[in-house]
Structure 1
Amino acid sequence: MDQRTELSEFLRSRRARLTPEDVGVLPHGGRRRVPGLRREELAQLAGVSVAYYTRLEQGRGQNVSASVLGAIADALRLTVPERAHLTDLAQPAGRARKAPGRPQHLRPAVQQLIDTMDNVPAYVLGQRMDIIGWNRMACALLGDFAAVPEAQRNMVWQIFLAPATRELYVEWERKAADLVACLRLAAGRHPDDPRLTALVGELSVKSEEFRTLWAAHDVRDKCFGIKELRHPLVGSLTLACESLVLPADAGQQLITYHAEPGSPSAESLRLLASWTLDTPAQTERPVRPGP
């Protein structure tokens, strides 16, 4: 992915979200032809020259200091993930270079850990949102990952291109937007990853909804939240989702779902666990040594 283009489009998209009234600056005169702050207004707010900011937004800035990026991030009111994304795009030389496109694998110890979670659906995502590990309950709740071709074993691919996964999430639009925002963040961190580029290309070709969300340039980290699911066997479920970073495994996150104790959803999970105890296909996983 071209970092200069990505930086230019990201800055323009964040500037378009704000108005002079939002940030307390006097609007420049004349008819406003585009939404949001003008470059002149943003430069004034960040304390840099208009020419300097224009070069940066056009992807022509070089050796941008952390203090200048911080001032621009403050002016644009960026969130913590957005600030990290801006740094990735504007200071690629400061990012550790890694072999592009290397497949990620799950450490056996992590697989053993999630296998002990008898009643908790758990799976692990890699840096491209690939599903690289899972337990029996994750398959019971979300579908048999082992039966999915490896090229499609990706959460973003599943949410946009697999009808069964799409039907599972009651608030599909929110789930889809969150995943695309996470993928955007990963793309800024790993611009030379051909697998990630290929994934974005395939989704862009096959899904207009993905193209629209991708063009918004929103970025977010996965964190936590409540998910409403529509399961074909046990019906409606209200589950809490947690996302835990695995510090020893770069770019990997452990995702878990759990129900409030004593709730109807907890009983539904218990039933689901009992019905799928002897499903061998859901226990066949490609576990390899870690990278």
Structure 2
Amino acid sequence: MEDLDFRCSVASSDDGEPMAGTAPTDAAFLLVEHAGSWGRQAVAESRMPEGVRAHLGSLSGVRVQLIRRHGGGDDDGVRVFHAVADTGGFAVRTTVLARVEDLLDLDLERDLVEHDGLLWLVCTNGRRDRCCAELGRPITAALADRWPHETWETTHLGGHRFAGTLLALPSGQTLGRLTPDNAVAACAEVSAGGVPLGLSRGRAGRGGAEQVRELHVLAGGRPDVEVREVVGPPRRQSCGDLPAKPSSTWRVVV
């Protein structure tokens, strides 16, 4: 029987599980505005038309996530962002569709324009994990007070046990263990070009070892170090995962 009192983020924080190297490694994201309810498998279980769900599910080489404004949509169309990893983070392009069915004819190479602003993407999908909803929504509210147009809820960033979690674009910085009290200051640091090292999971779009090496250098270490993946203790990976599963962490070898 599921333990409704268990919180994976509390367990992870209490035993000091390292976050470095746990940012998403995906090199491309497609973010689609959808204010409806989100299931555990957000796209497949959404209320979008069946043809749109099938189309999004068939895309290769891109991670599809749903996004929505905190507090609801603006009823001004369907905002779409396409983010592709580059040497400095991600190149982000965007468009607004009149209706979600227009995704079927959208050409990601030709139909979008450059987006030169910030995006704060906070995981809030409670159907996927309780911690993401309970911690993510208050964080989104705090960020939306400061950045109303830049702040979005999203469906899944991985690492539920590091909730609240956030992906910052275009930098790709992925933050964890955020709270309503530290999120605004952390994002302000990212927007100024910095990295809040104590809250960083790494830069998305890179492999785990590269993420850890970059954080090591930012903390004052040498770049010419070996980074090894090592076996960690079994952990429950999310609130709903009853059995503990093998885990791994990254270690800098000086």
Per the normalisation by structure 1, the TM-score is: 0.25
More strand by share: 2
Q: Select the structure of larger CA radius of gyration.
A: 1
Greater relative CO, 1 or 2 (CA 8 Å, sep 6+):
2
More helix by share: 1
